[in-house]
Structure 1
């Protein structure tokens, strides 16, 4: 089997490891991580270094592919583009759990993670480096643009359009024919009955805009708001 490297060594990476093992299509050679010490183990897999070590690892060990196992959309976007720049020959593989259900004519990009119990219905299109999390349901003809993510337990109706680097948080429900703009966050448990534009945070039942956000804000809250708003979403 072709050797692959996982970028990231967090809890999300643990899930990605489990999926790749169950796919039985690739050999996990090891991990790279920007912050954790070299030779640290995640399960039985060693951290081989940081992104600075990646070109040498690819050359010396004939590495075929990589997947960026980072949950935060904006960070994943940055890392994917950095890997493309320093290792242009690496393939971005998909991690699709065997218990996920993909309908007829589903189109998949590269570097995607689809977790156990997820359902992606017919004619949906999932962009590069997207995440469809555990037990999420994506309706027919839905479009998830690059670097977007769907959290566990989300339910989405048909003809949905999710913008670049946007996220739908845990347990949200979205009716059919909804468009969510780029760099927008829909909060946990929200009920979405209308479209939302670029660069906002929205939640509630029905969901409404709570604030605007920059594309590089932390997930859900900017750093200044995180301490005072901890636990709201």
Structure 2
């Protein structure tokens, strides 16, 4: 059997045993050495199989203790729709609250940050042009559910009351409303979702494991003249949220 197929086959057998309830939630699995002997495979094959199940969220490794069946986490639905213009962190009214939508957030902004080349390309500015860079950590019911890093050209917001997204008269109102207050009309939002694996920093902030599946969304907001006015990179843990895109239908 090819080595790749061998570790995947072992992973599937272990997955079936876990789902059948052979090991209860929170129970420690037999040692990897013992399982390797049971399945007549090398320890490296068994290690890869268990790592696969850790990434998939069925198992969790505890340093110095072993590998355990992971407590299932509820995946909350997050709807992304062109009909919604509020920024993720803006809490909706009590009658419209959506489960999984962030109800609190922490943020930190830096002013006069030179735009890295990839960001400059997305904002149609020159590398090194000054921007406002804001990092967000979003919470839902006290649980971290999303990270975001936003960039806005200082040439647009500088010397205005909205230069800092989370300070001033329109703090927390979102890009659309903030830009409108200085005469910039938003016309469209472009999002590019990509699957990825959590880095160490992302895992620490989100309370997940390194290598867990995340959804990265590259978002860019344009004004009526087609000028990019903000771009952001969002990171959403797959084990916490199910992202759904909702589109309206234009009536003839």
Task: Report the TM-score when normalising by structure 1.
Answer: 0.21
Higher relative contact order structure (alpha carbons within 8 Å, sequence separation ≥ 6): 2
Task: Report the TM-score when normalising by structure 2.
Answer: 0.20
- Structure possessing the higher radius of gyration over alpha carbons: 2
Determine which structure has the larger helix proportion and give its number. Answer: 2
